[in-house]
Amino acid sequence: MVMQTMQIRLTNGLINEIKILVDLGIYPNVSEAVRDSVRMLVTSKETPKGIPPAREEEIKTIQEKIQKEVKEQFQNPKGTEDYYPEEMSIRNKVFDVLRKNALKFGFLEVDSPVIEDLDLLKAKQGDEIIKQIFITEKKGDEELALRAEFTPSLARMFIAKQKAIPKPVKWFCINRVFRYEKPQAGRQREFFQFNVEIYGCSKPEADAEIINLSIESLKSLGLNEKDFFVKINNRKLIQGLLSEIVEEKQLEDVMRIIDKRKKISEDEFNSELEKIDITLDQIKKIKIFLDSKINNLNPKNELAKQGLKELKEILKLVDKKFIKVDFSVVRGLAYYTGTVFEISDTKEKFRSIAGGGRYDNMIELFKGDKTPSTGFGMGYSTLRLLLKEKGLLPKEDIGVDYYIAIVNKDVKEKAFEIAFNLRKKYRVDIDLMQRNLGNQFDYANKIKAKNVIVIGPDELKKGKIKIKNMKSGKEAEKAIEDINV
Q: Band the pLDDT of 26: cuts 50, 70, 90.
A: very low
- For the stretch 60-102, pLDDT in tens is 777 777 667 656 667 778 888 888 899 999 999 999 999 999 9
pLDDT the model gives residue 485? 47
Per-residue pLDDT averaged across 200-215, rounded?
97
Asked if 322 and 228 count as a contact pair (C-beta separation under 8 A), the reply is yes
pLDDT the model gives residue 141? 83
**Euclidean distance between CA atoms 169 and 151, whole angstroms:** 14
- For the stretch 284-294, pLDDT in tens is 999 998 998 99
pLDDT the model gives residue 191? 93
Question: Coil, strand or helix: which one is 196?
Answer: strand
| Position 398 pLDDT exceeds 60 | yes
359 and 428 part of one domain: no
- For the stretch 297-356, pLDDT in tens is 888 899 999 999 999 999 999 999 999 999 989 886 667 899 999 999 999 898 899 999
Examine residue 177 and state whether it is found in any structural domain, yes or no.
Answer: yes
Q: Residue type for 156, please?
A: R
Q: Which of 141-150, 194-203, 386-395, 432-441 has the lowest mean pLDDT?
A: 141-150
Bridge partners, residue 198, by sequence: 170, 374
pLDDT the model gives residue 79? 85
Q: Band the pLDDT of 187: cuts 50, 70, 90.
A: confident
pLDDT the model gives residue 332? 66
- For the stretch 219-274, pLDDT in tens is 999 999 999 999 999 999 999 999 989 888 888 889 889 988 888 899 999 999 99
452 and 306 part of one domain: no
**Euclidean distance between CA atoms 255 and 270, whole angstroms:** 13
* CATH number of the domain enclosing 426: 3.40.50.800
Q: Band the pLDDT of 52: cuts 50, 70, 90.
A: low
Examine residue 249 and state whether it is found in any structural domain, yes or no.
Answer: no
Question: Which residue from 373, 382, 385 is spatially nearest to 210, judged by alpha carbons?
Answer: 373
Per-residue pLDDT averaged across 186-214, rounded?
95
363 and 438 part of one domain: no
200 and 227 part of one domain: yes
pLDDT the model gives residue 260? 86
Distance in angstroms between the alpha carbons of the first and the last residue of the chain: 41
| Position 24 pLDDT exceeds 70 | no
| Position 129 pLDDT exceeds 60 | yes
Examine residue 436 and state whether it is found in any structural domain, yes or no.
Answer: yes
- Number of domains making up the chain: 3
**Euclidean distance between CA atoms 8 and 6, whole angstroms:** 6
Q: Among 45, 72, 99, where does a domain finish?
A: 72
Examine residue 250 and state whether it is found in any structural domain, yes or no.
Answer: no
Question: Coil, strand or helix: which one is 398?
Answer: coil
Q: Band the pLDDT of 476: cuts 50, 70, 90.
A: very high
Examine residue 29 and state whether it is found in any structural domain, yes or no.
Answer: yes
pLDDT the model gives residue 54? 55
**Euclidean distance between CA atoms 419 and 404, whole angstroms:** 7
Q: Among 12, 37, 72, where does a domain finish?
A: 72
* CATH number of the domain enclosing 370: 3.30.930.10
112 and 186 part of one domain: yes
Question: Coil, strand or helix: which one is 55?
Answer: helix
pLDDT the model gives residue 480? 84
pLDDT the model gives residue 246? 87
Strands (DSSP E) contained in 212-299 are 228-234
326 and 219 part of one domain: yes
94 and 163 part of one domain: yes
Examine residue 171 and state whether it is found in any structural domain, yes or no.
Answer: yes
Q: Band the pLDDT of 214: cuts 50, 70, 90.
A: very high
29 and 114 part of one domain: no
Question: Coil, strand or helix: which one is 321?
Answer: helix
108 and 9 part of one domain: no
Examine residue 395 and state whether it is found in any structural domain, yes or no.
Answer: no
Q: Among 367, 389, 411, where does a domain finish?
A: 389
pLDDT the model gives residue 181? 85
**Residues whose CB is less than 8 angstroms from the CB of residue 389 and which lie 6 or more positions away in sequence, other chains included:** 349
Q: What percent of the chain is modeled with pLDDT above 90? A: 58
Task: Report the chain's mean pLDDT, rounded to a whole number.
Answer: 86
66 and 162 part of one domain: no
Higher pLDDT, 116 or 15: 116
What is the Cα gyration radius of the chain? 29
418 and 313 part of one domain: no
- On the question of a cis peptide bond just before residue 28, with omega within 30 degrees of 0, the verdict is no
Examine residue 417 and state whether it is found in any structural domain, yes or no.
Answer: yes
381 and 359 part of one domain: yes
Q: Band the pLDDT of 6: cuts 50, 70, 90.
A: very low
Residue range(s) defining the domain that contains residue 48: 2-72
